[in-house]
Amino acid sequence: VGAGMSVSSGIPDFRSAGVGLYDTLRPELLTATELERALIEEDPTLALDKGMFLENPLPMLETKRSFILGTQEKRWRATLAHRVVELLHTKLGKLTRVYTQNIDGLEFQCPGLPKEKVMNVHGSMGAAACEVCGSEADFDEFC
């Protein structure tokens, strides 16, 4: 599934012209070196790049701050589309697994959708773990 499944819950997407995260990002406000800011200005996706994160995690954390906190506060709710996926499992028994590129974790608001059937291609904001060793951290403590 893709971003279209979650935007109706109010989650802003990353790529929409004029309103997406990348178009509205202001590199000059990020805690970054001048070189990092210049690189992000040229290519906003670098603010969320793992390589840059491992060098300086602040630009990514600052960029995702409202999203991380919104996820923790459950500011957004699973949509009808998420519920349809849940019904594919609970009522029809037809769901083998669901692959999602969304990082919002809204699938986990569907109690009938087993976590082991959800494959988070880009990870999930519903959990926190070390990018180096994979050690899990308490999400509420992280926030």
Report the catalytic residues: 122
Contact indicator for 23, 47 with CB cutoff of 8 Å: no
Torsion, CA 103, CA 128, CA 82, CA 76, rounded to 10: -90
d(CA 101, CA 124): 9
How many residues can be counted in the chain?
A: 143
The Cα diameter of the chain in Å comes to 55
Does residue 85 sit in helix, strand or coil? helix
Query: H or E stretch including 98?
Result: strand 98-100
